[in-house]
Structure formats: structure tokens, C-alpha cells
Structure 1
Amino acid sequence: MLDDYYMININVADLERSIAFYNSLGFEVILDMDVTDPTVGDTYGVDEFRLIKAVWMRLATAHNHRWPVLDLVQFVDPPVLQDGSDDAMDFRRRRGLSRISFRAGSIDEVVAMHDRLLADGTQFLVPLTRRADPTGRPLALFWLRDPDGTVVEVLHVAAR
């Protein structure tokens, strides 16, 4: 069962420009990351992955709410894709809305939901993946499309 909204991911061409824009709307940076872990590249389907820069932002007025966050990602090496690619999986690196993300109550719940959906014949964009998040916490995730084509991520990141 899903527990909460987790994040909305937007791939950006210029991270600093996007931070300034969302700051002007009342968002503040709560986490700033340079990600070089090759397993993140595997999740995004990026060969020879070397670096993304990312920030999590939350509305400054949302101090009592942990989620959802706005996840701004700039692919640095390799760079973000321009529009017009014919590869159906390139949405993971294309500019703009990449996916919405929902948090399950536990890693076991992510696995159980994945297995149930798989048994029902669901096609996954990213199969069940277990790895560490950028801070080293265990996580499990999978991606699929809703009936209208929106990419949906289900995940759980374990507490420290």
C-alpha cells in the first residue's frame, strides 16, 4: 500500500536557473547533491554515467510536512537530452517532468506491490531495483506508466 507522496522529479537544463525560479515561487533548497554512484545511472538507463547535480526543494511554508519534495536534476555527464529523441526510454534524461513518486510503507511493501503487479502482467520501465540512496540508506524502487503514459515511481527509503 502506498504511504505518501514522495516527490515530483523535473529534469532541468540549468540547475541554478531552476533553483532561482522555484525560490521565487516560495521553495527552498533542503538537500543539495552531486551524484556519481553508477547504480543511479543504471536506474536511469544511462551508459557511462558520471555525474548528476540535484536538489530537493520544499515550500518554505511547509515546515510541518516532510513530503512531497520537488526533485530538480541536471544531468551533467552525460548531459540532459534535448527534445526529439526517438528512444522511448529517453524520458529519464529529457528536460521537463520526468516522474511522480509515491512512497510505500516499507521496502517489503515495495517488493510485494511489485510482485503483485508483475503477476497481473504489468510492464515496468525500471524493474524492482534495490540499492542505496545518495546518503547510504537502503532503498527499493520500480517505475511504471499509468494508463495515460505518466511515469510513476514507487519506492521506500529506509530510515537510518
Structure 2
Amino acid sequence: VRYGFLSVAIVLSIRFILPILKDIAPLTEQDLPGYSYAAHFALTILFSLIAETLTFELVAWMYLKLEKFIERRKLRKELARKQEIESKEIKRIQEKFIENFILAWPLIAPRYKYFVYELRRGHKGYSDTNSAINYLRQQGWIHPITELPYSHCLYRLDELIFEALNRIESAATATDS
């Protein structure tokens, strides 16, 4: 490839630069006896080598930049595709969890339901030693926000449980109507 650039540069230099060089800096036999044409030709070849090197390096640099740009674009597309797949998978898992929770809700003991309904209204503080709170915490239905004095914590309801309760309530109001 580089020899192709060199050949094109030499031909173009001889065709265009040599006549211009003869007009700009005419060398006479007195300046360089017997070498006037050879000096112009040597300068032309020198200019062609410089032009070839600069052109080749510029094209190589642009090719590398283009290659990196294409690679980054492919990586971004692949990352976006993976994130979309992961997002769909997470939504599917969350939807399955909500469906299972809705199926299990009638079977849950009233004392657990009491705490879930209380936390649905807002954050509440409860003792860490309460067995119902520990069960709900182990199930991942409630999450501690901050610790309070005397072995108490401020808890919040998990977003998926909140969503499931909203669906249960809307289904109950739809059947009552």
C-alpha cells in the first residue's frame, strides 16, 4: 500500500511540481554545471517523498480513527442490547414475584398483613426483636431505613410489595363493583 502511495506521489510530483519548480527557481548551467535538470528532478523526488509520507500517515490515522469509531459504536449497540435484555429479564422476574405474592396473599397470617398495611401508609418504627418484623425483613418485603434507639428501626415497604398490594386492592374493588 505504501509503495502505491509512493508511486502516485512521484508521478504527480513529476507531472505538477517539476514544471512549477523550474519556473520558480530556474537553475542555469552556471549555478550547477551539467546538473540543472538533475537538481530539479532530485528536489521533485524529495517533495514527492514528503508528500507520500504525509498522505500515507494521514490516511492511516484516519483509518485508525474510523476503525475505533466503528468498534465503539458496535460496543455501544451491544451494551444497549444487553441492558435491554437485562431490563426485560428483571421486569419479568419482578412480574413473576408480584403474581406469586398476589397468589400467596390470602394465605398470609393476619399479624403479617397488619405490619404490611401499616407500612403501606408510610415509614414506621418497629422493634428488631419482633418475630413478625424479622420474618417480613427476611422475606425482603420490608427494608430498614435507619436505626432508632432501643433496638428499633425505621422500616419501609418494598416497592414490589407496594405494587402487588395496589393490584390486590384494585382487583378487590373491581369485583365489589
- Output the TM-score relative to the length of structure 2: 0.19
Higher RCO structure, 1 or 2 (CA under 8 Å, sep 6+)? 1
Q: Which has the higher strand share?
A: 1
